[in-house]
Structure 1
Amino acid sequence: MKVPVPSELLPAEALGRVHFVGIGGAGLSGIARIMLARGIEVSGSDAKPSATIEALRALGAECFVGHAAEQVAGADTVVVSTAVRADNPEVVEAGRLGLRLLPRSAALEAVMQGRRVVAVAGTHGKTTTTSMLTVALQHCGADPSFAIGGDLNESGSNAHDGTGDLFVAEADESDGAFLVYSPYAALVTNVEADHLDNYGTEEAYRAAFTEFLGRIDPAGFLVACTDDPGAAALVADAAERGLRTIGVGIGADAEVRAENLRQVGATSTFDVVDRGRRLGEVRLQVPGQHYVLDALAALASGLRLGFGFADLARGLGAYSGTRRRMELKGEVGGIRVYDSYAHHPKEISGDLEAARSLAGPGRIVVAFQPHMVSRTRIFGAEMGQALGAADEVVVMDIYVAREDPEPGVTAALVADAVPLPAEQVVLEPSWSATAEHLVDRALPGDVILTLGAGDVTLLGPSVLALLTQRAKEAPEETPDDDG
């Protein structure tokens, strides 16, 4: 549900006891972590048990599995996830009691008040870019607060209450949340139509990013990728407003540019040129050109914040990834299993490009789970086309998320559009059968990749277990009698 943003945005310390409905999610759990670190009393509920719930309990939060009206008792403020429906008993009870109701955006703004905020926005790459900037700043000796839509591999956490004045935040546009924040600086990775279930039209979606420019401190700056037409248009608009802008990319128009890009296996190496001056080399531990662009945006932001290139480059080189972003789950019998959050055609293409670099002479075997009915209706055919960059494809049922099913909108819209021979594409309605399809199709040297924003992420361990089982069952080779 979409909870209205109150006219008065209070700091976190003024919210009293805070209860989170959907506390196990990537967005709310991070805010809860920061509040707990500040000594604020926190409780919350989620539909399913999870490692996140257990981690929050260890930090002092009272967490419930399942939703019940009595669980909001004693709360002063109730923060509600957008994935929660309006008839949720805790939301209904909070309304009956007249408690303060906040959307995620207002709760994040509450913990960011008083800090110098660097907000990372864009259709794709927000989580990775926020993570890269955070790790790079940490290697410069800074201790920024951060709130990220995924767990850093380095810390295993998606949020931290730092001692410095900087706060690096992933600024989600899906529900207009980024229009609540007032950042000192902003990064925009790209602007490409998405979340039309909320915005209605591509024009409205793009207009929200233009509105976001007006939220940036006039004394701050905007970093945006000029290789992307939507983000490049924002750079031009921001410059007209008198805002300091830094364009990044591989193209000649970029102020901070990557040159001499080399991608080998799981690494990407490139030279950085800032306004014609070569600063040095950056070597990333993550593959794919889209991650190079994310790293450039993080680097340019760090430079404009006053940090040195050498330390920033060292931090980017140490960045080992974020969970669910081309995350290696394991390897059995020469078959590597990765998981990634890609759920938009552009993201699918980027991750398959990275997987191709990882696979080398091997093949790519993909399980893709479409996310949301409206997104599948709008982008299903494009998703299928993007999946054609793989060698073997299993398309799962739609992860419905917060919407209701629609007649005629099924995963077949994706599967039917995959430009591969029919025997290389499977439409599998059974979640539990998907792992077997992947293992049946994979050979030593191949990369298995699970893609999507839903529970497809849980497939990795099942695939690895099945690979292990089959390796044990495989007959041992005996020496040739003639040898």
Structure 2
Amino acid sequence: MSWLDKHIHLMGVGGAGMSALARLLYARRVRVSGDDRADSPALRALQAEGIPVVVGHDPRHLEGVDILVPSSAIAKDEPELVEARRRGIPVWHRGDLIGALMQDNVGIAVAGTHGKSTTAGMIATILTDAGLAPSFVIGATPQPLGVNARWGVGEAFVVEADEYDHTFLHFQPRVAVVTNVEYDHPDTFADLNATLDAFAMFVRSVPKDGVVITCADDAGCVAMLKRAGVSAPVVDYGIQGGLWRASNLRANPLGGVDFSFTGAGIRGEVSGACSLRVPGEHNVLNALAALVAADACGVPMGEAVKSLGGYRGAGRRFELKGEARGVRIFDDYAHHPTEIKATLRGARQRYPLGNIWAIWQPHTYSRTAALLDAFAEAFDDADHVIVLPIYAARERQEDFGFIANALNPIEIARKIRHRDARNAASFGDALGMLLSQVKGGDVVITLSAGDGNQVGERLLEMLRR
């Protein structure tokens, strides 16, 4: 019996990546079910699509299940997972499932410490607009596509290749994109060397007839290639260097950025100009990576450029949630110092005279402790910073003892090198500060990979009253 004929149950199905997998399995007519610890819009969306998912983890959900796939956020001692192992139900890593889904396709895997959701979304959008009907699974929802996963009839399969828990090492892509490599996920990687080794293993899996696409401007990508010993050809891109190069960057009236580019395409030299609706130098690099991947897939450059011109971003990636009383409210998934810097720099580019509020929810005790000095330097482009309590995600406060107690909003705000860094003991406290001080023309950005976006949503709701 093929694995496609079995009942697959997903734990943590409300997460961005897991909900995408549920949609792909359902589209392939696999018997799929799932559960998550709390209700959410993502869970309700899956239910509305006809996918049987429920709130709460419970061993009773294992009845009739042939394969269990837990998300990386599921604790090892979760009773449902423990019971599955006791019963001998095969437990697959989510990377195993993605690898199985893309097995008979041309895999295009987009990795990197930052920018992989946006770059994967851009590539999937280009291939879709070009009529290639790709399959894709992405950790965010590209606005032009409207979904974070789709099963297509074409041969291309675009996947966001997450390094956490070494997920991307379960793939064997034909095209591998690495946007950048920095130290992150201290609960998976001991240090930068361990991170570089994992990315090197990832690109080493690309066959000789494939291609590895990396950023020439990124020191981590350069260091990774030196230790990787890849057999596939390497195509690099950048602003400062690379076979493909962007130049003449300038803000445009769309709130994004225009740039010119040249490159060594598969059919010879290419050049052109591109106009993006998303701001920031980081998005120029993301777009350039997408153009290189599109060229590798045979998409005419004119079509790829036109498609990028219509790309309006992805969910929780500098996403405009709304405007009320002249206050614009954005949400961004930034949870690493480099991501916060890039997001705020892009916001400053779009609103050079705006009064920018950065509402930051630190993500996990381990990351906050390991990168606190870098976080302290990340908020220069904001006018005001409000620090929320840490979102623990998969971690437990009691496992970190004194460190967890020291990582409270008051102490974290004191560490930030900024003229106006404040702390909030709760979402309500942050909301009170904002309601009493924001005014027309202000820009509020929630920076969170957890539930900190609720502050912006509540603010928008109250300003609209």
Amino acid at match of 2:261: V
What's 1:332 paired with?
Answer: 324
Amino acid at match of 1:366: A
| Within-5 A mapping of 1:219-368 | 219-236=209-226, 241-251=230-240, 253-264=241-252, 266-275=255-264, 277=269, 279-368=271-360
Seen in structure 2, the aligned counterparts of structure 1 residues 263 and 25 have a Cα distance that, compared at 3 Å, is: same
Whether the 8 Å contact between 2:389 and 2:408 is mirrored in structure 1 is yes
**C-alpha RMSD over aligned residues:** 1.7
Structure 1 residue 44 and structure 2 residue 46: aligned? no
Please report the TM-score for the alignment, with normalisation by the length of structure 2.
0.94
1:236 CA drift (Å) = 4.9
1:1-46 CA distance string (max 9 Å, x none): xxxxxxxxx97515x0011111111111111111100111111100
1:413 CA drift (Å) = 4.8
Distance, in Å, in 1 between the alignment partners of 2:387 and 2:275 is 34
Structure 1 residue 189 and structure 2 residue 185: aligned? no
Structure 1 residue 460 and structure 2 residue 456: aligned? yes
- Aligned residue pair count: 455
Whether the 8 Å contact between 2:180 and 2:221 is mirrored in structure 1 is yes
2:437 to 418, 441, 463: 441
Q: Which moved more, 1:155-164 or 1:114-123?
A: 155-164
Mark the runs of 5 or more structure 2 residues left unpaired by the alignment: none
Amino acid at match of 1:347: E
Seen in structure 2, the aligned counterparts of structure 1 residues 11 and 306 have a Cα distance that, compared at 3 Å, is: farther
Mark the runs of 5 or more structure 1 residues left unpaired by the alignment: 1-9, 470-483
Task: Give the match's secondary structure for 1:83.
Answer: coil
1:414-453 CA distance string (max 9 Å, x none): 31232223xx221111122212222333222121100011
1:203-247 CA distance string (max 9 Å, x none): 111111111122112210011111101112334556x54421111
What's 2:416 paired with?
Answer: 418
Amino acid at match of 2:76: A
Question: Which is higher, the Rg of structure 1 or of structure 2?
Answer: 1
1:157 to 147, 165, 168: 147
1:412 CA drift (Å) = 4.0
Whether the 8 Å contact between 1:359 and 1:445 is mirrored in structure 2 is no
Distance, in Å, in 1 between the alignment partners of 2:46 and 2:324 is 33
Whether the 8 Å contact between 1:336 and 1:447 is mirrored in structure 2 is yes
Distance, in Å, in 2 between the alignment partners of 1:126 and 1:11 is 31
Distance, in Å, in 1 between the alignment partners of 2:77 and 2:256 is 48
Task: Give the match's secondary structure for 1:444.
Answer: coil
1:273-331 CA distance string (max 9 Å, x none): 11495521110000011011000001111112211111101111111111000000001
Whether the 8 Å contact between 1:365 and 1:441 is mirrored in structure 2 is no
What's 1:13 paired with?
Answer: 4
Structure 1 residue 103 and structure 2 residue 93: aligned? yes
1:113 CA drift (Å) = 1.3
What's 1:480 paired with?
Answer: none
What's 2:395 paired with?
Answer: 403
Seen in structure 2, the aligned counterparts of structure 1 residues 326 and 355 have a Cα distance that, compared at 3 Å, is: same
Whether the 8 Å contact between 1:11 and 1:111 is mirrored in structure 2 is no
Structure 1 residue 212 and structure 2 residue 188: aligned? no
Distance, in Å, in 1 between the alignment partners of 2:361 and 2:301 is 40
